[in-house]
Amino acid sequence: MSNAKIGSVAFIGLGIMGGPMAANLVKAGYTVTGFNLTQPPIDALVAAGGKGATSIADAVRDADAVITMVPADPHVEQVMYGPDGVLENVRPGTLVIDMSSIKPSTSIGVAARGGELGLRVLDAPVSGGEAGAIEAVLSIMVGGAEEDFASALPLFEALGKTIVRVGPYGAGQTVKAANQLIVAGNIQLVAEALLFLERAGVDTEAGLEVLGGGLAGSTVMARKGDSMRARQFKPGFRIDLHHKDMGIVSEAARELGLVLPFGALATSLVAALRAQGDGDLDHSGLLLGLERLNGLADSPRSAGGNA
């Protein structure tokens, strides 16, 4: 990997995903300046060899590339627009990469405004969760111009393993919405299979091992199976965020005139868990919602589910 064309990177949003991603760019040899609304994640980046900034403008002013990783559409708009935002404070020609998961229309709007200002803009949402961010094995789905994708590729290679340009502006977000649809359904089905095995008295460790080696196997089962068995739902990707993403799926499907029956059910189950006050749990906490449906929420083996 060569980073000769891009030496300095501003990273805005150092949360569960952004923090380790920024640290991996430092490891890859980039000069990384980070900004976050709270100070501890900035301090963590500095401890990892990066630099801290006191504002977005301070972070992006001299950067060759800017990466933003924030929770939702309003945050992207707040970070990108306005006199203190990214677009008004970077140098012309700067590569601006939003890796948040948002509506395709928002990404298209950012790209349009960036183009008016002489910037190169990509939408590049990711999949892989906190573990994928830490291990730099994220799947990255990119929308934007081919030449801008080529310029950004060395950065992406420091963050992930599966990196694909999927189309023009906004296409990355459309593919990410499809990803979240599949992940929500997969988690729910793994939860149902696990509860099914438990009720039948099967050794669930052995059961999931053999299921994982066949057609039923999935990354969800491999990464979430053990923690689901232990009822440990420490957030790697919060229900709150998956609820937001399923809203994006529903809105996009409606605009396309599509009926997604299983997607609608998965959306309802995510929304129900959030309504029950568990929005801060990992999305594998769908198992907790399933237990409640089966009258098992107060069983001793579920008591650790909020850990």
Q: Give the residue numbers marked as catalytic.
A: 176
Q: Locate 208 and state its tokens.
A: 């999931």
**Tokens standing for residue 156:** 């992406």
Distance in angstroms (rounded) separating the CA atoms of residues 183 and 39: 32
Residue corresponding to tokens 């969800």: 220
Instruction: Decide: 285 and 236 in contact? Cβ < 8 Å.
Output: no
Q: Which DSSP state fits 144?
A: S
* CA 243 to chain CA mean position, Å: 13
Rg (CA), the chain: 20
The residue type found at 222 is A
Are 238 and 245 spatial neighbours (Cβ–Cβ below 8 Å)?
Answer: no
d(CA 196, CA 215): 18
Bridge-based pairing state of the strands 126-127 and 138-143:
antiparallel
